[in-house]
Amino acid sequence: MKITPEDVKKVGLLARLEVGEDEVGPLTEHFNTILDYFGKMEELDLSDVDPFTVEDAEPLKLRKDEPVRWENRDAILDQSPSRQGDFIKVPRIGGDA
């Protein structure tokens, strides 16, 4: 199945990544080349493989779910492009805009 420029734009929207008119052509070509390459996997019979059981899995060591005080909280907030007091300001979410 061939990918079309419209498909690329649609995936771009899903990925929150605007695809410019100048980028659509090369990206479509790239997608079709790489998806053809992925087609190689078709020659494998994987019907009996359960991908989600791992025999030798190492157990995950989770930390206790308890809050930890972060000393330099301001250093994090200062990294935001638009800070207002102790909040991070973002453009309007609701409405027509």
Partner 1 sequence: MELFRLSATEVAFGVRDGRFSAEDVVRSCLSRIESKEPEIHAMLTVTAEAAIARARELDGRRSAGEDLGPLGGVPVILKDNMCTAGVKTTCASRILEEWVPPYDATVVRLLLKAGAVLLGKANMDEFAMGGSTENSAFGVTSNPWALDRVPGGSSGGSAAAVAAGYAPIALGSDTGGSIRQPASFCGVYGLKPTYGRTSRYGLVAFASSLDQIGPFARTAEDVALVMEVLGVHDPMDSTSQPVPPDDFSQALSARDLKGKRIGYLKEVAEYDYDDRMKNALSKAMKACEEAGAEMVEISLGTAIDHGLASYYILAPAEASSNLARFDGVRYGSSSKDPESLMELYLKTRKDGFGDEVKRRILTGTYVLSAGFYDAYYLKAQKVRKVIKQEFAKAFEKVDSIILPPSPTPAFKVGELIDDPIAMYMADVFTIPVNMAGLPGISINVGFSEEGLPLGVQFIAPRWGEKELLSTAAVMESRFGGAKIADGGDL
Please state, in angstroms and rounded to a whole number, the distance separating the CA atoms of residues 96 and 28: 32
Supply the Cα-derived Rg of the chain in whole angstroms: 23
Regarding 25 and contact with partner 1 (CB under 8 A), the answer is no
**Contact characters 57-86, partner 1, x per CB under 8 A:** -x-xxxx--------x--xx--xxxx----
Beta strands in the chain (DSSP E): 83-84, 87-88
Angstrom distance (rounded) from CA 86 to CA 17: 29
- The CB-of-24 to partner 1 minimum distance in angstroms stands at 11
Interface with partner 1 (CB under 8 A): 3, 8, 11-20, 23, 27, 30-31, 33-34, 37-38, 40-41, 44, 46, 49-52, 54, 56, 58, 60-63, 72, 75-76, 79-82, 88, 90-93, 97
